[in-house]
């Protein structure tokens, strides 16, 4: 233990062994989000008979709730410990699954059913906020300072591995047993994950003074804006690509989710260290441009193979956008506020998803569905401008709040 009450950072050779248990928790926890991704739009649109705007609203409500709870999650992780934050998140995810089940009792009244579903999505958003904010803070506390980008990338890889496996699993469960199976999986998986959390040692809290959320937000808003703009391609794929496949009469729309997630994971597996070596802004610039190309391919797709290639390029590009801008954000705050910094930084992503999904839904209404991906490509292009600005005006390595 150090003088600050924290465990000493893990040595480089022990990085994987240190982080794998935390990644396991994130993986299992995010299965509950992954299984719903390909089927939630179909349940709302086909099962309940509601329009694309409501589809976007249901999808975006999770991100909106995450946005509201990020400051709380960050403060809690810094002051009460990351392990407790993960536990609270898992319990909240179980409640979300129970609300999913409750919504099925009102399918004859679609508006009532979707209102309960929205509540469940909101609770799940809060759960996601606590789980991922606390998990990243946990990893940063255990790893060396020179591995910031790698921690963010690896923990995120566990999340998207869950999406990759959850997408086909969710599609199969929905086809065989309906949305009830998704609800049961959402309620039960987090409870099982608590058994894994119990085996991981807690990390002591830093006892130094912390800064307010507003002050931390002021330090990280530029990289946060870049991450927000760069995440719109992710939102377009997760919310509307299954509908695009159905609209075009292409089978196995879930393959787009898997292609996205597999490319995402491979990029992080081989390039997660690059942001720590050459700088987060440079990595973010290159990867946003790759993501733009992926979105353009989906927009122009005339065959499912083109859409799958576009989804894969989007996943590869976005893979290092979040850790790239994240490295820039963490460099701007002192160590005792890293949890709050990650909460503030990720809040920009939540804001983008909470606004972008309904907005893209409006674009899809009364227009060709593929125009959603043109709009998202143009938005992601703006993230490249933010990355260029960060390259031109780098942060003080010690952080402006020090």
| Tokens standing for residue 353 | 């998803």
Q: DSSP label at 9?
A: P
Contacts of 312 (CB under 8 A, 6+ apart): 259, 260, 262, 263, 294
For the residues of 147-185, what is the DSSP string, one character each? Answer: GHHHHHHHHHHHHHHHHHHHHHHHHHHHHHH-HHHHHHH
Helix, strand, or coil (residue 212) = coil
Q: What is the pLDDT along the chain (402 residues), one digit of tens a residue?
A: 333 334 444 454 466 677 888 888 888 888 888 888 778 888 888 878 888 788 878 877 777 787 788 778 877 877 788 888 889 999 999 999 999 999 998 988 889 988 999 999 999 988 988 888 888 888 777 766 667 777 887 787 787 778 778 878 888 898 899 899 999 999 998 988 888 787 776 765 555 545 666 777 777 889 989 988 998 888 888 778 888 888 888 888 888 888 888 888 888 878 877 887 888 889 999 999 999 999 999 999 888 899 999 999 999 999 889 888 988 887 777 666 667 777 778 778 777 766 777 788 788 765 578 888 998 999 999 999 999 999 887 765 444 454
pLDDT digits (tens, 9 = 90+) for 156-213: 778 777 877 887 888 889 889 989 999 999 999 898 888 878 777 676 555 554 566 6
Rounded to whole angstroms, what are the CA distances from 38 to 17, 167, 359, 369? 32, 6, 19, 16
Token pair for residue 270? Answer: 């081989």
pLDDT (tens digit per residue) in 72-109: 887 787 778 888 888 999 999 999 999 999 999 898 88
Give the residue extent of every domain in the chain: 12-392
Q: What is the pLDDT of residues 224-242, one digit of tens each?
A: 899 889 988 888 887 788 8
Of the candidates 252, 376, 399, the one whose C-alpha atom is nearest the C-alpha of residue 314 is 376
Phi, psi for residue 250 in degrees, rounded to 5: -90, 135
Q: What span, in angstroms and rounded, lies between the C-alpha atoms of 263 and 127?
A: 26
Which pTM was predicted?
Answer: 0.68
- Give CATH for domain 12-392: 1.20.1250.20
- Report yes or no: 269 and 157 within 8 Å, Cβ to Cβ: yes
121 within 8 A of 58, measured Cβ to Cβ: yes
């Amino acid at each position: 233990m150090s003088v600050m009450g924290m465990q000493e950072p893990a040595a480089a050779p022990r990085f994987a062994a240190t982080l794998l248990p935390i990644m396991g928790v994130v993986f299992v926890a995010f299965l509950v989000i992954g299984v719903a991704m390909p089927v939630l739009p179909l349940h709302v649109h086909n099962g309940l008979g509601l329009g694309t705007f409501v589809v976007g609203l249901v999808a975006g409500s999770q991100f909106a709730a995450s946005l509201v709870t990020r400051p709380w999650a960050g403060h809690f992780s810094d002051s009460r410990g990351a392990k407790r934050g993960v536990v609270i998140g898992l319990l909240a995810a179980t409640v979300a699954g129970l609300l999913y089940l409750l919504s099925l009792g009102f399918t004859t009244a679609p508006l009532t059913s979707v209102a309960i579903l929205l509540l469940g999505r909101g609770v799940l958003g809060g759960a996601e906020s606590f789980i991922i904010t606390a998990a990243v803070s946990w990893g940063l506390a255990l790893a060396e300072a020179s591995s910031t980008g790698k921690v963010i990338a690896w923990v995120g890889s566990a999340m998207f591995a869950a999406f990759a496996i959850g997408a086909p699993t969710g599609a199969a469960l929905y086809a065989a047993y309906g949305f009830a199976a998704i609800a049961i999986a959402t309620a039960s998986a987090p409870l099982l994950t608590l058994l894994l959390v119990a085996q991981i040692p807690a990390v002591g809290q830093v006892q130094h003074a912390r800064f307010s959320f507003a002050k931390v937000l002021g330090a990280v808003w530029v990289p946060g804006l870049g991450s927000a703009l760069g995440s719109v391609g992710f939102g377009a794929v997760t919310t509307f690509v299954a509908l695009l496949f159905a609209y075009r009469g292409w089978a196995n729309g879930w393959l787009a989710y898997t292609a996205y997630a597999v490319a995402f994971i491979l990029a992080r597996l081989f390039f997660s260290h690059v942001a720590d070596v050459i700088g987060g802004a440079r990595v973010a610039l290159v990867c946003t441009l790759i993501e733009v190309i992926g979105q353009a391919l989906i927009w122009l797709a005339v065959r499912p193979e083109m859409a799958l290639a576009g989804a894969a390029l989007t996943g590869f590009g976005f893979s290092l956008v979040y850790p790239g801008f994240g490295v820039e954000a963490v460099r701007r705050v002192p160590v005792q506020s890293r949890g709050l910094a990650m909460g503030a930084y990720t809040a920009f992503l939540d804001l983008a998803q909470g606004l972008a999904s309904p907005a893209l839904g409006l674009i899809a209404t009364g227009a060709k569905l593929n125009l959603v991906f043109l709009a998202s490509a143009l938005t992601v292009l703006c993230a490249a401008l933010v990355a260029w600005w960060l390259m031109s005006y780098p942060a003080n390595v010690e952080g402006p709040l020090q």
